[in-house]
Amino acid sequence: TVFFPFLLSLSLSLFLGSHDSFSFWVDLKSPVGPDQAPAVKRLTGVFRSLGKRLMKKWSVTQSWTFKEQLEAGIRYFDLRVSSKPGEKGHDIYFIHGLFGIKVRDGLMDINDFLSLHTKEVIFLDFNHYYAMDSEHHVHLIAMLQQVFGNKLCKSDRVEKITLQYLWDNNYQVLVFYHHPLAQEKPFLWPGKTMPAPWANTTDVYKLIQFLETTLGERAQYGTFHVSQAILTPRVKTIVLGLISGLRYSLVERNLPVIINWVRAQKPGINGVNIITSDFVELVDFATTVIKLNNALLQENKAIT
């Protein structure tokens, strides 16, 4: 029997993703986002531009634009969106503490890449919404349809989604929408089909333990699965690293342990599916992902 990897469910393959994928640029002139606690808003109100510059050091989790991430092999995007309170119209922005670029601009960049690379497939995970009423959601959903059109893959059984299935239907985009409105549109996948358990720790060894535990539980759900290989700063972490920021205080020093864990993984029913990280340019994750998928290919060849 010949094994064809493009007939394997995408939930059993390995993809690389970025955490807060859009945070490569934040607007220091806009107000602090509605995703922040009142105390943070008060502090930035007092310290103004200085406060926002310090916030930027902890809000930015990526250096590369969408285009650069796509060219480097990133295929899963973690997206958090918001309106700007008080702004007229229904414009929606990416947000992580501070406002980022307009969502439409980001989606257009992604669509341009997909139009040039018609065999490529991406996951867009809209998982946090702020200051958005039903009209904002209707606007965002219509925008997705306008930008991607027939590239949008209809929600279906997870195990049915293979590369061959997507290619046969000219689908390139799977949109996961963590909101009840996902039930009203066939091209929106319910958020529950893309769980992304969050360790919420600054301790890299607790993170690894958490990733292992949640991987061991994934088979029973029959969904896609995100392993968030990220550390989350506490208030103390931020205070101690106020000037150095997230990248130098938390990410770089713990990266060797995280990448060693990634290299030891295998895709499959009880294995990794999507791995997200901060500052994806710091390590050649793409090469690691290719090696792991090749290992899965060899294993299936041996079985068949």
Ramachandran assignment for 245, one of left (phi > 0), alpha (psi -120 to 50 degrees), beta (any other): left
CATH number reported for the structural domain that contains residue 208 in this entry: 3.20.20.190
pLDDT average, residue stretch 104-132 = 97
* CA–CA dist 285, 281 (Å, integer): 8
Q: What is the pLDDT of residue 1?
A: 33
**pLDDT band at 245; cut points 50, 70, 90:** confident
Q: Which two tokens stand for residue 13?
A: 């393959």
pLDDT value at 293 more than 70: yes
pLDDT, tens digit (0-9, with 9 covering 90-100), for 42-56: 555 544 666 678 788
- Domains held by the chain: number: 1
Residue in the block written with tokens 């290989």: 229
Residues 23, 24, 28, 29: is their CA dihedral positive or negative? negative
C-alpha distances in Å from residue 280, one per residue of 38, 72, 77, 100, 275 = 31, 9, 12, 18, 11
- The domain containing residue 257 runs over which residues? 5-303
pLDDT average, residue stretch 13-40 = 86
Q: What is the pLDDT of residue 160?
A: 95
CA 282-284-287 angle, to 5 degrees, is 165
pLDDT value at 226 more than 50: yes
C-alpha distances in Å from residue 36, one per residue of 96, 122, 234 = 9, 29, 14
Chain mean pLDDT for the chain: 88
The residues that are catalytic are 19, 96
**pLDDT band at 241; cut points 50, 70, 90:** low
Q: How far apart are the first and last CA of the chain?
A: 5
pLDDT value at 18 more than 60: yes
Contact 65, 27 (CB under 8 A): no
- CB neighbour list of residue 272: distance below 8 Å, 6 or more residues apart: 14, 215, 225, 227, 262, 265, 266, 292
* CA–CA dist 41, 49 (Å, integer): 12
pLDDT, tens digit (0-9, with 9 covering 90-100), for 157-203: 999 999 999 999 999 999 999 999 999 999 999 999 999 999 999 99
**What does pTM read for this prediction?**
0.93
